[in-house]
Amino acid sequence: MSPHPAPASSPAEALSAVQAASPGATWYLAYTKPRQELVAQQNLQQQGFNVYLPLYKTFKKTAPVGAPPDQAAFEPMFARYIFFQPASPSHSISTVRSTRGICSIVTFGHEPAQVQPATLHAIQLFEQQRNQAGMATISPFQPGVLVRLRDEGLHCLQGLVQSVSAKRVTLLLDILGRQKLLKVDHAQLELV
């Protein structure tokens, strides 16, 4: 393993990087500046620390420009927190406090918080399961949930979700006293 690992381009790469890190060394927790987890990760790696930023797949109503609306996004599992480990026993963690993107090291009293290997392993397993889940699984629109159409002309229409796929949600609507099934994109719905 290189002393300065390259930033992981995917959650799977981050997971394998953590598993390959020094097994006996202690992991610590840092509190980052708002929305600066990736900046902190990159700067800690440049200083030679092993870094783990758990990411999970989430459903986004509004997709980034140019991306299909049914794509997932990856966000930090614990907003503003990042795990780090010194590359060697002689590597001081005091430099972490002044690292760009970091607010402070999480402490209990005056002692830095240490993360137990079992806790880190459980987080890794959850991250792996979540990232392998399909869009239908992570969508907030699950069967039986009451939703409303987002279109201005149809905003007053509410319906029950019947089924969910990666691209469409099937709704049961009551229109003029008749029940109708309607398939719409995820982006056209909002929770009631």
pLDDT: is 12 or 58 the higher one? 58
Based on the fold, state whether residues 117 and 162 are members of the same structural domain: no
Residue 67 has pLDDT above 80, yes or no: no
**Bridge partners of residue 56, in order along the sequence:** 75
* CATH code assigned at 169: 2.30.30.30
* Domain-located, residue 1: no
Residue 67's Cβ-count burial label (10 Å; 0-12, 13-18, 19+) is exposed
* Domain-located, residue 3: no
Helical spans, DSSP H, in 10-116: 11-20, 37-46
CA atoms within 13 A on the CB side of 81: 12
Based on the fold, state whether residues 49 and 106 are members of the same structural domain: yes
Q: What is the DSSP letter of 34?
A: T
Based on the fold, state whether residues 123 and 98 are members of the same structural domain: yes
For residue 83, give its domain range: 11-133
* CATH code assigned at 75: 3.30.70.940
Based on the fold, state whether residues 84 and 158 are members of the same structural domain: no
Based on the fold, state whether residues 162 and 97 are members of the same structural domain: no
Task: Identify residue 89 by its one-letter amino acid code.
Answer: P
pLDDT: is 81 or 118 the higher one? 81
Of 108, 133, 158, which residue is a domain's last? Answer: 133
pLDDT 10s digits, 10-44: 555 555 556 566 667 799 999 999 999 999 999 99
* Domain-located, residue 38: yes
CA-based nearest residue to 139, from 70, 43, 52, 85: 70
pLDDT 10s digits, 163-190: 988 778 899 998 888 999 999 988 888 8
Residue 50 has pLDDT above 70, yes or no: yes
Domain total in the chain: 2
The token pair at 40 is: 């902190």
The token pair at 9 is: 């381009």
CA distances from 10 to 6, 13, 101, 139 (A): 12, 5, 20, 21
The token pair at 44 is: 């800690």
Based on the fold, state whether residues 147 and 64 are members of the same structural domain: no
Q: Three-state DSSP class for 118? A: helix
